[in-house]
């Protein structure tokens, strides 16, 4: 789908295994910025290279024109097709310096953040050519740049990217869509990251990996809605922990998920981590 003259979105479906016989249908967006060169933001899961390369060819461009893939962070649904695309197109890969270790050593990522069918989703480890940090500008050629904003919380190496030409912001998983399952490492840091993004003036387009692009007047309210969702999750944790000092994190997470309207979601470690992130903040009623 074309969002602006330069930006195209690709919605990539995949299945996440959450139990021995249970998968859930998920999707993730990847983005193409067409210019003198082609820049890809995130790559989808392993195998997504086919749909990405087909899209480029159907647009009348040559896949070898991909100069760079920039990963918003290290998780499988964002990096999976990276190794295949690098091999097939010769493009360079970029990610935040804090995301590099889990992209270059996926075994380490799996050990620290197990996901059901991790090795089906990740196409293997791959070297990052350019390590990014907050404030960097990535040159896309033709006078176009992407400005990097370090927006940790969902993961420590998460970035958002501002394509100034279109006042378009790519936020990866930094801004949650309300009513989606909580997945983050540090909720307080996530909130600070969204507040930082809200300071960017004049945004026209916001693209989050789990949501359709927000345009015009919808941009800033979608960031506020993400903040409100964090607060709602926090209030569910406060309610479920009221009057008790000792919690079994699994049991608490199950009760919080039920209260939030996800009674069917199995207790996978990445969700338990997210709920657990609120336990350090039980003395605070308001997080936002």
Binding site for Zn ion (CB under 5 A): 75, 173
Are the C-beta atoms of residues 135 and 148 closer than 8 Å to each other?
Answer: yes
Q: Smallest distance, Å, CB 216 to Zn ion? A: 26
Q: Smallest distance, Å, CB 89 to Zn ion? A: 24
Query: Would you say 211 or 240 has its CB closer to Zn ion?
Result: 211
Using alpha carbons, list the distances in angstroms from residue 227 to 10, 194, 196, 238.
26, 7, 12, 17
Q: Smallest distance, Å, CB 173 to Zn ion? A: 4
Residue with nearest beta carbon to Zn ion: 75
Q: Smallest distance, Å, CB 137 to Zn ion? A: 24
The tokens for 184 are 């983050």
Query: What is the Cα–Cα distance from 169 to 228, expressed in whole angstroms?
Result: 20
Phi, psi at 144, each rounded to 5°: -95, 140
Query: Would you say 75 or 144 has its CB closer to Zn ion?
Result: 75
Query: Would you say 6 or 109 has its CB closer to Zn ion?
Result: 109
Are the C-beta atoms of residues 69 and 86 closer than 8 Å to each other?
Answer: yes
Largest CA distance in the chain: 63
Q: Smallest distance, Å, CB 186 to Zn ion? A: 13
Query: Would you say 75 or 100 has its CB closer to Zn ion?
Result: 75
Query: Would you say 25 or 283 has its CB closer to Zn ion?
Result: 25
Q: Collapse the DSSP code of 167 into the 3-class scheme (helix H, G, I; strand E, B; otherwise coil) and give the result.
A: coil
Handedness of CA 230, 231, 232, 234 (dihedral sign): positive
Query: Would you say 56 or 174 has its CB closer to Zn ion?
Result: 174
Query: What is the Cα–Cα distance from 249 to 28, expressed in whole angstroms?
Result: 28
Query: Would you say 183 or 287 has its CB closer to Zn ion?
Result: 183
Q: Smallest distance, Å, CB 96 to Zn ion? A: 13
Q: Smallest distance, Å, CB 75 to Zn ion? A: 3
| DSSP H stretches of helix in the chain | 49-58, 76-79, 82-89, 100-104, 106-112, 118-121, 187-198, 219-241, 249-260, 269-276
């Amino acid at each position: 789908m074309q969002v602006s003259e330069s930006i195209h979105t690709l919605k990539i479906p995949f299945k996440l295994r959450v139990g021995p016989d249970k998968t859930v249908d998920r999707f993730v967006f990847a983005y193409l910025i067409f210019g003198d060169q082609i820049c890809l933001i995130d790559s989808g899961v392993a195998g997504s290279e086919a749909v990405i390369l087909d899209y480029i060819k159907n647009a009348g461009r040559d896949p070898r024109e991909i100069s760079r893939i920039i990963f918003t962070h290290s998780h499988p649904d964002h990096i999976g097709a990276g190794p295949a695309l690098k091999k097939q197109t010769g493009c360079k890969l970029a990610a935040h310096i804090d995301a590099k270790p889990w992209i270059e050593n996926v075994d380490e990522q799996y050990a620290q953040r197990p996901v059901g069918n991790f090795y089906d989703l990740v196409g293997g480890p791959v070297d990052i050519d350019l390590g990014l940090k907050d404030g960097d500008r990535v040159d896309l050629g033709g006078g176009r740049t992407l400005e990097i904003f370090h927006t940790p919380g969902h993961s420590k190496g998460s970035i958002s990217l501002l394509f100034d030409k279109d006042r378009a912001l790519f936020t990866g998983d930094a801004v949650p869509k309300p009513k989606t399952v909580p997945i983050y490492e540090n909720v307080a840091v996530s909130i600070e990251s969204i507040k930082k993004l809200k300071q960017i003036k004049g945004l026209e387009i916001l693209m989050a990996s789990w949501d359709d692009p927000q345009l015009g007047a919808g941009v800033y309210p979608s960031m506020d809605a993400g903040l409100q969702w964090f607060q709602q999750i926090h209030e569910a944790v406060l309610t479920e922990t009221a009057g008790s000092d000792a919690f079994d994190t699994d049991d608490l997470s199950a009760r919080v998920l039920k209260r939030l309207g996800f009674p069917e979601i199995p207790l996978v470690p990445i969700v338990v981590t997210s709920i657990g992130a609120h336990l350090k903040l039980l003395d605070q009623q308001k997080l936002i």
